[in-house]
Amino acid sequence: MEKLIFHGSNKILEKPVFGQGKIHNDYGLGFYCTENLELAKEWGVAKNESGYANIYKIETEGLSIFNLNDTDYTILHWLTVLLENRIFDINNALALEAKEYLIKNFSLPCAQYDVITGYRADDSYFSFAQDFINGAISVRQLGNAMQLGNLGTQFVLKSKKAFDAISFQGYEIADCEEWFSKREVRDRTARRQYFDVEKNRRQKGDLYIVQILDQEIKADDPRLR
């Protein structure tokens, strides 16, 4: 099956190179794309610098694709992938214990797959994740926060096999005056909805990281669904 994917960048990238990039991205080293052209344009610009949405065709037949948003997994699985790759501000004992517990009990075999898809932890999503491990919001609130602002999902090429399956189709220019403002609006919307709706709305029975640690809750616990 063929599909189009897009990569936002300040460069035109006709041939992405396997093994290059930043190791501390959401899902580790890889080539980060999206199936949404508009999101790629937003991700490709800086405040005063225009960019590009590079366009690729990928043949997914024969590729193993790991979807972190699949119903088989919980939001804590996604968070654990972030904890294993991103640099979190771990500045208290609770957050450190939370990180160690989640990595021990919610890790996934991501390295076995050619492609990973899932939420993108940009500034707002990342702050929601940090609030959770610091005990400020519950599992339910974290899951709901991921839906705010339509911040999008990413399609990440992880293996050489995946890199070999794409072909460059061209690019579209992303003007910073248009697309940076749209990116800012999307992020502000998510943050405003989070503070207005989620962060201060505790419900009876909510699970916080303290309960997860004290009760040694595992991934198969129905309360995490």
Q: Is 141 buried (19+), middle (13-18) or exposed (0-12) by CB count in 10 A?
A: buried
pLDDT of residue 149: 60
Q: What is the pLDDT of residue 154?
A: 92
**8 contact partners, CB below 8 Å, separation of at least 6:** 34, 39, 40, 41, 42, 43, 44, 45, 51, 52, 53, 54, 174
Low-confidence stretches of the chain (pLDDT < 70) are 123-124, 149-151, 197-200
Model pLDDT, residue 24:
87
Cα gap 22→64, rounded to integer Å:
22
Q: For residue 46, what pLDDT is reported?
A: 93
State which amino acid sits at residue 222. Answer: P
Which pLDDT score is estimated for 151?
64
Q: Report residue 45: phi and psi, to 5°.
A: -110, 155
119 with 69: CB under 8 angstroms? Answer: yes
Q: Where exactly are the structural domains of the chain?
A: 2-220
Residue 5 is encoded by which pair of tokens? 């994917």
